[in-house]
Structure 1
Amino acid sequence: MISLVFVMLWHRRGQAATLALLGLLAVTSAVAAPAYLIAVDRAVAVGQIATAAPNELGLVASTVQDERVATDGTGDPGLATEQDGLQFGDVATALVAMPGFTYVYSAEYYAIGIDSNPANAARFVYRQDVCAHLQILTGRCLAAEGDVLIGEHTAQRLNLKAGDPIELRSAVPSPNPKKKAWLPDGKPRRLLIAGTYRPTEPAAGYWGARGYFTATPETGPGEPIFTAAVTQQTMDHGRITLAMDGRAGPAALNPDRLDVLRADLQKLTLSTADVGLAVQIDTGMTALLDRIDVGQSSTRPLVPVLAVPLILFACFTIFLTVGYGLEGRQSELAVVALRGSRWWTRWWLAAGESLIAVLAGALCGCLIGQLLVDAIAAIVFPDNGVSSDWSSLRYAPLAAGAALLSVMVAQRRQFVGSVARLLRRNPSTANGRWAVAAEALAVLLAVAASVQLVLSQGSLTGLGLFAPAILMLALGLLAARVLLPLISRYAVRALQRGRLGVALAGLQLARRPGAGRLFALLVATVAVAGYAACAVDTAAAGRAVEATLGIGADRVLTVQTAQPQQLLSAVRRIDPDGDFAMAVTRLPPGVAATDTPGLAVDSTRLAAVAAWPSGGPDPAEVADRLHPQSLAAPAFAGPDIAVDVSASGLTPGRNGLRLQVSVSSLTGLGDAVIELGELQNRPATYRQKIAVCQEGCRIDGIGFARTGSSRLTAAVVVHGMRATGPDREVLPTAQLADPNNWRASPEVRPAQAPDGLRLEFAESVSVSPLVWIKPAGTPDPMPVAVAGGRLAGDAVTGLDGKPLPITHAQTLPVVPQLGRRAVLVDLEYADRTTMNAGLGTTPQIWLNTAAPPDILDRVSAQGLTVVADIRSDQIRRRLEQQGPALALGFHVLAGVLAVLLGAGALVLAAAVDRRRRVEDLSALRTQGLRPGPAGQAMLWTYPALVAVAVVIGLPVGAIAWLVTGWALPLAGPYPPDLPLPGWPRVTVLLAVGAVVLLALAAVAVATGRHLRRRVKP
């Protein structure tokens, strides 16, 4: 019997090969999905490690010792040193026990004496093998006790050179928090500058996360003084920080042993806790590992979403094609049944041929699935390295079992069918109650899976994981149930009109029992490809939104510190025409957690520079509403200001008012609030020299500060404001005296006086220590554009941290960089309404693609220091290396495998139909059917089926995407608060449909030509 089955296999070797290919694809899909997940996990880990910050690639164990104070209170410094050293040594032993790390020892304390400014102290550092990582510019490296190395910028600033002697002493910060100064903490020592240096690679792993070359207000230019260990130890000092910097190498950061690294870090933390608080472990490696875990977890739902349909459709294809094949062998099976063969003989002759073919394909699929993913990973993830993990093969038996079960289910009728049924020329149609029940069950499962996906809020677990697959299959079956009767009617009408070729092709499609299932399979195949296209294109569009709208512009420069007016003026000088640059700063965070974040921008450049959401209002219109025309702010041209004021009703020294003026530089030198003096009950002129007004200032407000605590009723007349040069008035008297040109606090009533502006203070001023009158040159309340609906209150936090009254001027879908719940305000007007804005919160310069190549030099020329330079293309490349983007590569593979499944089913169906169709068409040709209609019937039956399946399959894939696509974590588990697209581009879907149509149509045409050659003329 076995030899007979092999003879049958050889006789129908084409069908057997196709069936083996389908079994291969089923197991390949089951193996490829977990294998691809393993490859993606490695790629995520490799990518995160490659882009990690220095502190995330190592750890620091540090302890502070004080040789002057014993830790046990005895006063013996030796005990303190010995005890602290013992603790540090215990942790050092634990560190060295961690494999794959290299360690650098260092020690440091602060020293003064080289810089005359008491606010600056230098880091006096010993670091192991430091000379190998420095470029000696002048002099030599460390050679003798007493030698030191200083940085090139420090040498230039202090006019020092190699060979000069210096005197240093250890220092501690002043205990007075209001006094930023360093105090001596040791005896001075004379040292020799052996040379000046420049770090060869300041960001190299050797330096760890010590921040040696980061400038701070307390340490000057960020260049430590390096010395030898003996010099550092013999110099008189108190507290000293000892540290071990551990740098993780490739062995420690091997993607296959990150779990071991996490366990080692946990053990180190426990050992540190056992030692006590004297030793501190600082590392960002835990954050790196957590980020890798998050990236890997975001890939887990994306691959099975299309792996499940592939396996399901492969089994359905095997079921369909085996059933097709058995229909062609019914006469053989009838003869076996007539001879009274036992059931197992009948079963083996019916199922053996298909089982052997599927089993052979399944065995090959185990290897091919893994090798296919390895080949793809080597191309797509070239930096991944080679993984020896073959654990994905554990899913192969499950897929092979499902494929073999599909073979058995497809032959159920042949096992239990009567001889009469097997001898029938026309098998039963697919309208039986079991077929209808199966299709109804598929529809119910699709509904249940979709409902569960909604109720679980997009959790791709349980039945929800099968939702896309079941939904596409159910829609394919429904489409076949609806469409094939229409094709039958069309074929009958074509026959009545004499179009024989079309009629024969249509009747072959509509009345063939397995045609409906074949059509449903082809529809599902196209739907899988369309669904994959939806996921890939939607995710790509989402990454484009994150890379542009997420950062605000094509390129964003973050500067170190800058006042809003300084930033605004600098950017306008860099780009006077407003073609490529825009000043931006964030509004300070509010006190309440529910306060809406805000962005202040130079709105006159909003349309030219900012990334803008599609579907939002025109940015030029938004800019007009945020920056309406207003009066020019009062300004003066020189550094000195004089204010003529007379007052009455004051008690100087006890219950009076002090005059203040808030100004902003016209050239970006900064803001200032100037104290002019206490008002007298007589006319007086108050003068002040203002440093930031060297090139002119505008007046932001005139303030009056209380000097007493009792109630106050007074009147003040501002007669004039002018610069102290000849004929340089700030305002004409008429303009100054007009109360409509000023905006006053409720405690002050402005009125016009014959010789100026009269201000009457009510008794309620006793509860206000400071009141202001401001020029009415800005809108009041401030217009803002709001994203996320109307604000709960009528104010936001202004640049000075105080409430800024606002009015809702425009609704936005999103504020660039901040998200879908934020406000947008004009930077110039927001700055003019504040009395002292201080330093901006995250000051930035947004640039478009027209920014010149030397933009960084232009920014530096304006006195701004760039601390971050973010480009949209860099963000996009980084997103493309993260888990979701990498996982979607499997969707492309799934689309290709789905098309191969459809093509295999088409070939096998055509091979089974070939014998009967050859007999039918040959008989019709003998009876006089013309060659033209016969050729149409032969050539266009399956191409027409393919064309209709593609037309129906694309909408089916789109519907499946509408129902389930929202649950896919295309932007990771924590998507940004941005309007990410939910639909692909129509052109992409059409292009995918065209490719699938060409591929399947080519197979269908090839089968038709083969059939035509076998038909007798």
Structure 2
Amino acid sequence: MIRIVRVMLRRRRGTALLVLALSVIASAAAAAVPLYTGAAARAVTAAQVADAAPQELSIARTILLTPGGFPGRPAPPAADKLAPQLPYQPGFTTVGGLLVGGQLGGSDTSPGKSVWLAYRSGVCAHVRMLSGRCIAGAGEAIVPQSAGLRPGSETGFAAGTLSQGGFRADGDPIRLTVVGVYAIGDLTGAYGAGRSFTGVPQPDEEPEENVPAVFATLETVGATPFGTAFQTTDLIADGVDFTDDAGLRALAAEEETLAEENGYDVSTALPDLLDRIAAERAGLDRSVQVAAVPLLLLTMVVLYLAVSSSTVRRRTESGLAGLRGVPGFTRWWLSAAETLLPALAAAPIGLAAGWFGVRLLGAWTLPGGDGPRLTWGVAATVGAAIVTVAALAGTAVAQASRGPIAAQLRGTPARAHTVLIGLAEVCAVLAAVAAGYQITAEDQPGGLALLAPLLIAVAAGLVARRVTGPIAERLGRWGLRRGRVNRAMAAFVIARRPTHSRLLALLVVLFGTGGFAVAATTAGAWARAERAQLDVGAAEVWSLPTTTAGDLRNAVHDADPSGRYAMAVAMLPDKRFRVLAVDAGRFCHVGYWSADAQVSQDQACASLTASGSGPLPIIVTQPPPDRVAAGADSVAVTEVAQVAVLPRLGTSGGLIDLGGLPAATPVRQAQVWLAEGTPELIRSGLRVQGLTPLATMTADQVADRLDSSGPALALRFYLVACLAAVVLGVTGVLVVGAAEHDEIGRVMRALRIQGMRSRSVPRQVAGGYAVLVVAAALIGALVAALAWRTARAVVPMVADEGFAPATPLLPVRPGLLAAALLGQVVILLLTSLVVATVLRRAVEGEPR
């Protein structure tokens, strides 16, 4: 029997190679899901860690030290009590420190500058020296640039507290020798652990409470007479495996427990980072798995068509074997072996193809990633896909070869299970309806709703398959009555060949899912760009040092008199209600505005402009308080409009006019917003006015960060998977052409004998396929539009809890959608022309 199977494989290489290719596609698609998911999850995790706040990458312990003694004359603490604890945790770097608050350079006649005298281990490796050198011995210090001191100068530091009655020293001041001036450097990163002296905004403190640090050695800080000091121990995550979600959460909980037991404070936002990573990974896993379903489904359908049509063409052989007494299982094995063996051989090839394909896709979607990793889980997935392919092929052989031996000898196809097929089609339509209802009934649809685009396409394909036959039959009769033989014959082939109606259903699913994938990908890109613009507020934002509202506004006006490129902005220090003060006269030219806002940007600018001495107009996302804090005082506000989202503030806060604030109002979170295409002359003018940015942020930078998020990566995989399915469409056309080759060839040869022209053969065949392709494209476009209107809510836009722009009702880029569908149509039409040409040569090669 093995020899017979070998002969069959050699004689029917075409069928074996086709099954091998389809099995490779199925196994490659199955392997691509875990391979891409793993690589994308690692890339998403790395992106989240890179963008994390310092508090999210550290666990900060703070111990209050009180040395005792009399007020004003504290007793010197023991040296062992000053040294910070340095516990070890795998993947973390422990940074110890000691903080003493006080004033630098004060005297009896003038107050000094509020600073922290700080020791922090490894500080010299994490600050950028502007002049001088870093600390090396006792009595030496490095100061920030804002201190106004130079290397080599002497200054004094007195520990104490600042109250309404003035500064109260804890003891005699100490002398410090300034050996260097530093810039913040890495202090704002993970190394600083978000401590207040790094300048990183604190969640529970006002901006003015952030004071700079003067760094010195532990001996210097410990020798300072102080009433209170803070011993700090920070665990910095610099080698942590952030995929170990449970382990990191357990560590954070353990630190909280230790803090309660030992009476010190611990602060960390590590669980917040883990929550974001988990949300990104969960959405990515779900979306990639759903994205692979259309490709796998189309592969299985084409495989079933190929195997069943090949078996039907050999029904006579099966009948002869049965007539000679060969058992039914043996006949099934002889027919199925030429498909099962290539399917099994496809496993390693498909695994390698999936790995290579994900590597190529990762070069586009995951720049800088570490690529796919082969695991036993990937191998198990490929094995499951191959088992499914083998089972499907075996079922197709059994279905196509069943029936009486007499019917097999005549070569007539097996009778279809009409009732079962009808029930399956009804169930598919009901599933599509149920998925659509679930989307409309739930705020966050899941489960069956995630497959709604595919189910709608499948239901439409099955309905089109049912109605195509009667319509084609009538068109064929109409063509015969009018003497249009070629059109009539093409219509009759579509009407009377079941493989053509199956091909139509396949192509409808292909065009429908491909169109939806293009619409989803373009809408996702638009939503991320919209989100980035609203998160930043303008094309570019400069963060500035503390100033006053009047000085900030006047400086920007002097640098940009036209008002088209630069705008002064200030975040007010109100803890209850976030308020952003913008220059209303320039906001329409510089700031971004939501496309879904109920109030236009021009109306917003007009309504924000303050007039008179009454309450300031405010545009809010929720009801505001009667007054909001603005420096030491507060200002009255009155609501003039309410919108869903505001630039920079998101879904919580309000906008007022900066010009309505008193000119002397202190602004500690000052900003300058720049419009897109701001000339360099304007930027230089801003710097000349003293507006030198401490940090900058652009909408493009935020958009790039969002483009590396889980939803963006999942949508790209979805697009590639659906558009790659055009290969299956081409294969389907070739399979149907091969299945009908002999029968249609006999018909065409008979018509040629009766005088039909030679060129009519390709016209009839290619015309029939062209009608199928064009009809499927038109139906598929309508299906894509219907699926987008119904199921656009399942498209992942953003994974976090921030603002998600409303998904547009119509495709964002219809031209790109049309181009993608047209490209698929052209490829399939060219394939149809090849099938027609092959058939013409076969007909002409036979003697007449």
Deviations 1:933-981 (A, max 9, x none): 1231244433432222222212212222322221233222525154443
Matched residue, 2:830: 1002
Matched residue, 2:433: 447
- Does the residue aligned with 1:571 lie in a helix, a strand or coil? helix
Matched residue, 1:604: 585
> Quick one: distance in 2 between partners of 1:285 and 1:963?
38
Matched residue, 1:434: 420
Q: Which amino acid aligns with 1:953?
A: G
Contact (CA 8 Å) 1:362, 1:400: kept in 2 or not?
A: yes
**1:347 to 1:779, Cα distance in 2 relative to 1, 3 A:** farther
Q: Which amino acid aligns with 2:66?
A: D
> Quick one: distance in 2 between partners of 1:607 and 1:840?
22
Deviations 1:522-579 (A, max 9, x none): 1111222112112111101111211224433322344455555554434333322222
Matched residue, 2:491: 506
Contact (CA 8 Å) 2:615, 2:635: kept in 1 or not?
A: no
Range with bigger deviation, 240-249 or 294-303: 240-249
Contact (CA 8 Å) 1:501, 1:935: kept in 2 or not?
A: no
1:987 pairs with 2:809: no
91, 106, 109: which is aligned to 2:97? 106
472, 475, 479: which is aligned to 1:494? 479
> Quick one: distance in 2 between partners of 1:792 and 1:57?
35
790, 798, 801: which is aligned to 1:963? 790
> Quick one: distance in 1 between partners of 2:652 and 2:213?
44
Deviations 1:690-716 (A, max 9, x none): xxxxxxxxxxxxxxxxxxxxxxxxxxx
Q: Which amino acid aligns with 2:837?
A: R
* TM-score, normalised with respect to structure 1: 0.73
Contact (CA 8 Å) 2:476, 2:487: kept in 1 or not?
A: yes
**1:413 to 1:83, Cα distance in 2 relative to 1, 3 A:** same
Q: Which amino acid aligns with 2:467?
A: V
**1:203 to 1:605, Cα distance in 2 relative to 1, 3 A:** closer
Identical residues among aligned pairs (%): 30
1:115 pairs with 2:115: no
Q: How does 1:41-56 map to 2 (within 5 A)?
A: 41-56=41-56
Q: Which amino acid aligns with 1:115?
A: G
**1:133 to 1:839, Cα distance in 2 relative to 1, 3 A:** closer
**1:218 to 1:818, Cα distance in 2 relative to 1, 3 A:** closer
Q: How does 1:450-489 map to 2 (within 5 A)?
A: 450-461=436-447, 463-489=448-474
Q: How does 1:587-602 map to 2 (within 5 A)?
A: 601-602=582-583
Matched residue, 1:330: 315
Matched residue, 1:680: none
**1:552 to 1:981, Cα distance in 2 relative to 1, 3 A:** farther
Matched residue, 2:214: 225
**1:402 to 1:200, Cα distance in 2 relative to 1, 3 A:** closer
> Quick one: distance in 2 between partners of 1:468 and 1:26?
21
Contact (CA 8 Å) 1:126, 1:228: kept in 2 or not?
A: yes
> Quick one: distance in 1 between partners of 2:470 and 2:212?
84
> Quick one: distance in 2 between partners of 1:218 and 1:324?
75
Please give the root-mean-square deviation of Cα atoms over the aligned residues, in Å: 3.9
Matched residue, 2:60: 60
> Quick one: distance in 1 between partners of 2:174 and 2:59?
33
Q: 1:478, CA displacement in angstroms?
A: 0.6
720, 723, 733: which is aligned to 1:906? 733
Contact (CA 8 Å) 1:58, 1:283: kept in 2 or not?
A: yes
> Quick one: distance in 2 between partners of 1:606 and 1:578?
9
Matched residue, 1:770: none
The number of equivalent residue pairs is 832
Matched residue, 2:799: 972
Matched residue, 2:240: 253
> Quick one: distance in 2 between partners of 1:192 and 1:946?
84
Contact (CA 8 Å) 2:33, 2:292: kept in 1 or not?
A: yes
Matched residue, 1:771: none
Contact (CA 8 Å) 2:114, 2:211: kept in 1 or not?
A: no
Q: 1:891, CA displacement in angstroms?
A: 0.7
Q: Which amino acid aligns with 2:240?
A: L
Matched residue, 2:395: 409
Contact (CA 8 Å) 2:567, 2:674: kept in 1 or not?
A: yes
1:303 pairs with 2:288: yes
Contact (CA 8 Å) 1:65, 1:240: kept in 2 or not?
A: yes
> Quick one: distance in 2 between partners of 1:209 and 1:964?
43
1:11 pairs with 2:2: no
Matched residue, 2:117: 124
Deviations 1:384-432 (A, max 9, x none): 2256452233323333333233224334444541234334566478793
> Quick one: distance in 1 between partners of 2:75 and 2:106?
34
- Does the residue aligned with 1:115 lie in a helix, a strand or coil? coil
Q: How does 1:588-737 map to 2 (within 5 A)?
A: 601-614=582-595, 622=603, 625-626=606-607
Contact (CA 8 Å) 2:102, 2:161: kept in 1 or not?
A: no
Q: How does 1:527-606 map to 2 (within 5 A)?
A: 527-559=512-544, 561=546, 564-584=549-569, 601-606=582-587
Contact (CA 8 Å) 1:548, 1:611: kept in 2 or not?
A: yes
Deviations 1:604-662 (A, max 9, x none): 3343223244477895852685278x9xxxxxxxxxxxxxxxxxxxxxxxxxxxxxxxx
Range with bigger deviation, 201-210 or 569-578: 201-210
* TM-score, normalised with respect to structure 2: 0.87
**1:140 to 1:526, Cα distance in 2 relative to 1, 3 A:** closer
Deviations 1:976-997 (A, max 9, x none): 1544435422112101101212
Matched residue, 2:161: 173
1:242 pairs with 2:235: no
- Does the residue aligned with 2:798 lie in a helix, a strand or coil? coil
Q: 1:361, CA displacement in angstroms?
A: 2.9
Deviations 1:641-685 (A, max 9, x none): xxxxxxxxxxxxxxxxxxxxxxxxxxxxxxxxxxxxxxxxxxxxx
Contact (CA 8 Å) 1:42, 1:255: kept in 2 or not?
A: no
> Quick one: distance in 2 between partners of 1:168 and 1:611?
47
Q: Which amino acid aligns with 1:233?
A: G
Q: Which amino acid aligns with 2:160?
A: V
Q: 1:433, CA displacement in angstroms?
A: 3.2
> Quick one: distance in 2 between partners of 1:781 and 1:565?
19
> Quick one: distance in 2 between partners of 1:784 and 1:536?
36
- Does the residue aligned with 2:537 lie in a helix, a strand or coil? coil
Contact (CA 8 Å) 1:15, 1:908: kept in 2 or not?
A: no
Matched residue, 2:774: 947
**1:627 to 1:430, Cα distance in 2 relative to 1, 3 A:** same
- Structure 1 unaligned regions, length at least 5: 631-776
1:851 pairs with 2:678: yes
- Does the residue aligned with 1:122 lie in a helix, a strand or coil? strand
> Quick one: distance in 2 between partners of 1:352 and 1:46?
47
- Structure 2 unaligned regions, length at least 5: none
Deviations 1:579-616 (A, max 9, x none): 2123445688697xxx9x77654343343223244477
Contact (CA 8 Å) 2:105, 2:112: kept in 1 or not?
A: no
Q: 1:844, CA displacement in angstroms?
A: 4.2
> Quick one: distance in 2 between partners of 1:535 and 1:520?
22
> Quick one: distance in 2 between partners of 1:137 and 1:427?
87
Range with bigger deviation, 284-293 or 474-483: 284-293
Contact (CA 8 Å) 1:527, 1:957: kept in 2 or not?
A: yes
Contact (CA 8 Å) 1:476, 1:956: kept in 2 or not?
A: no
> Quick one: distance in 1 between partners of 2:178 and 2:628?
51
Deviations 1:85-130 (A, max 9, x none): 7xx64xx3xx32x223333433231344523443623322333354
**1:272 to 1:854, Cα distance in 2 relative to 1, 3 A:** farther
Matched residue, 2:840: 1012
- Does the residue aligned with 2:229 lie in a helix, a strand or coil? strand
